[in-house]
Chain A
Amino acid sequence: MNLVVCVKQVPDAKNIRIDPVTNTLQRQGVESIVNPFDLYALEAGLRLRDEFGGKLTVISMGPPQAESVLREALSYGADEAVLLSDRAFAGADTLATAKTLAACVRRLSPFDLVICGKQAVDGDTAQVGPALAQSLDIPHVAFVGTMEGVEAGCLTVQRMMDDGYDTVAVELPALITVVKEIGEPRVPSFKGKMRAKKQPVPVWGLKELDLAEDQVGLKGSATWVERIFAPEPRGRREILDGDPDTQAANLLKRLKEDQVVKLA
């Protein structure tokens, strides 16, 4: 199988800070890590590669220092890595990011499966995976918790839902985004780490991806960040027990007590 796994460098959530003046994420002096969900994506990819053979390429869009997350992915056993880095990519929203990643995946064709973590822990949008599938014009399944198997060009997966899971067969090539139920990421190996230090990681920019400046970065974005703020805490919440009649009676009683409703 020819696999592509997308990873993102994010600030370590353990010590995240918001700049009180600019209201944006403070990235300076904060340690960067591989987005934790992307490690699950990498593990899913490595298991498929180990079972079916083939090649696993890991890609990331980011500043030059994002190369470190690609080297980390190589130490876990990824075969190759490509960094998408160009000044023009700066300020990309999920749409522009997906288009840039799509151009990279196309250049890596033919591919069987693209795997992403369900979301990045900094932006938390969970949009880039599905948007990437859209850009590539391939089917996708989000929130995959289990891969059941590959047969006749179809991958069968379990999509985790709030109240259970759906079993979905998807024709390859396809894209999946994975959740942590997919299985604990393995530890890196000594041989992997030594190889990762030396292996070349090519950097692809606008030119290599054959993209125009207005398709990427801030210019290619359909959205922009207006403001980042800490949300107001929600009010007190309460869950009422009992059968529907009791719940309704209690609800009405409470609404009257709090003078939300007045009945004549």
Chain B
Amino acid sequence: MDYFLTEEQLTIRDLARQIAESRIVPSRAELDEKSEFPHEIMKDLAQSDLFGITIPEEFGGLGLGCMENCVAVEEISRGCCGVATTFAASGLGAYPIILHGSEEQKKKYLPRIASGESLAAFALTESTAGSDAGGIMTTAVLDGDEYVLNGSKQWITNGGEADIYSVFVVTDKAKGARGATALIVEKSDPGFSFGKKEDKMGIRASVTRELIFDNCRIPKDRIIRKQGAGFLVAMKTFDHSRPGVGAQAVGVAQAALDEAVKYAKTRVQFEVPIISFQAVQHMLADMATSVEAARALVYCVARSMDAGAGDTSKVSAMAKLFPTEMAMKVTTDAVQILGGCGYMREYPVEKMMRDAKILQIYEGTNQIQRNVIGQALNKEYTRKG
């Protein structure tokens, strides 16, 4: 379907597709098998300027929006969802600085992220805090001109590889959600270290580690926005980033559909290609329809946000919820269409199915997305009386 992309969006799509086809697809199986971080591909993405999509031009970026980011993420994810996770997580780590950082913070950190010289990461989850962001235990205490951090963050994408971390801590336990604060921590800060690399079911090219703060001291000007604004910073970040997760889902589902159709056209049973059977055709038709519906939703929400729509929490959650549920279904069906081949590592679809699962879990589980949507509905209809 023609979405009438702008010239810049088409350029981004072609560029991301070229990188996916020439660099990512040939190495994705090995990266997955060895659970290897894609250093070379990150260099290619840095060279391509794509790390700077959402970063303003005055800070070395391209000054483009959520839509352009979605177009890039979709194409990279079509190549490998794990690589796309690494790429998108750097954007997620940058969003708190883009949206709420001071002029000095933007000047200091954004050019490095835009050029791809440094990766960023977003650190909220802890063993006691995931869906419940109020469960954050990591503390930051002001001591003279420095904050002293203690605690640990778990399952942090790009942990250990990123140089710049947006970290959410508690500065005032008594205030609950209003006691959370966002801070920038650099990889080289004293008292900051990393735990073991997690062994994951999917997105194995991406790296996930624990962050450990043991009397980690950082200058007090690393605070994002102001003390106590952490919850707001996190929620605004998610509003911007969730369509990107939807775009990852569209990319991996499109890749699974491509493989399924290709296979169905060549696999012969009962002396005909299996695509000639209505049972297979209908599965493919449903897959194609749902991929397109998800893409249309993601693009529509992203464009609405870029056009300056007000409160986007509800639609942003929808743009994560629907595509990621779709991707789980479509990748599973692709494995079904490839049958025995689909279950084998020699073919790429089982990896897509493993990769798709995380999309229903991270950046707010799909249950939390439904909460966001449900609460928004409740508010809307109360107002309407």
Q: Contact residues of A with B, CB < 8 Å?
A: 186-191, 193-194, 197
Contacts of B62 in A (CB 8 A): 190-191
Q: How far is the CA of A190 from the CA of B114 in the complex (A)?
A: 12
3 tightest Cβ-Cβ pairs between the two chains A and B: A190-B49, A189-B49, A187-B44
Q: Mark B1-44, 1 if CB is under 8 A from A, else 0.
A: 00000011001101100110011000000000000000000001
- Can you list 14 A-B contacts (CB < 8 A)? A186-B44, A187-B15, A187-B18, A187-B47, A187-B48, A188-B15, A189-B15, A189-B49, A190-B48, A190-B49, A193-B11, A193-B14, A193-B15, A194-B8
Tell which of A188, A191, A194 touches B18, judged by Cβ atoms closer than 8 Å: A188
- List 9 additional A-B contacts (Cβ < 8 Å) besides A189-B48, A194-B8: A186-B47, A187-B15, A187-B47, A187-B48, A188-B48, A190-B50, A191-B49, A193-B11, A193-B15
Contacts of B15 in A (CB 8 A): 187-190, 193
CB distance from A75 to the nearest CB of B (A): 9
Which A residue's beta carbon lies closest to that of B14? A193
Contacts of B50 in A (CB 8 A): 190
Tally the A-B contacts, defined by beta carbons under 8 Å: 33
CB distance from A207 to the nearest CB of B (A): 34
CB distance from A43 to the nearest CB of B (A): 11
On chain B, the number of residues with a Cβ less than 8 Å from chain A's Cβ atoms is 16
Among A187, A189, A191, A194: residue with most chain B CB under 10 A = A187
Contacts of A187 in B (CB 8 A): 15, 18-19, 22-23, 44, 47-48
Known: A187-B19, A187-B23. A194 touches B11 (CB 8 A): yes
CB distance from A181 to the nearest CB of B (A): 17
Which A residue's beta carbon lies closest to that of B40? A184
Which B residue's beta carbon lies closest to that of A192? B49
Contacts of B8 in A (CB 8 A): 194
Contact B19 A190 (CB under 8 A): no
Contacts of B47 in A (CB 8 A): 186-187, 189
Q: How far is the CA of A174 from the CA of B185 in the complex (A)?
A: 51
CB distance from A90 to the nearest CB of B (A): 31
Contacts of A186 in B (CB 8 A): 44, 47
Contact B12 A190 (CB under 8 A): yes
Contact A197 B48 (CB under 8 A): no
Q: How far is the CA of A194 from the CA of B68 in the complex (A)?
A: 14
CB distance from A186 to the nearest CB of B (A): 5
Within 73-119 of B, Cβ neighbours of A (below 8 Å) are at none
Q: How far is the CA of A193 from the CA of B208 in the complex (A)?
A: 34
CB distance from A17 to the nearest CB of B (A): 22
CB distance from B64 to the nearest CB of A (A): 9
Contacts of B44 in A (CB 8 A): 186-187
Which A residue's beta carbon lies closest to that of B10? A193
Contacts of A194 in B (CB 8 A): 8, 11
Among B14, B15, B62: residue with most chain A CB under 10 A = B15
Q: How far is the CA of A193 from the CA of B14 in the complex (A)?
A: 10
Contacts of B18 in A (CB 8 A): 187-188
Q: How far is the CA of A186 from the CA of B49 in the complex (A)?
A: 12
CB distance from A121 to the nearest CB of B (A): 17
Q: How far is the CA of A87 from the CA of B182 in the complex (A)?
A: 66
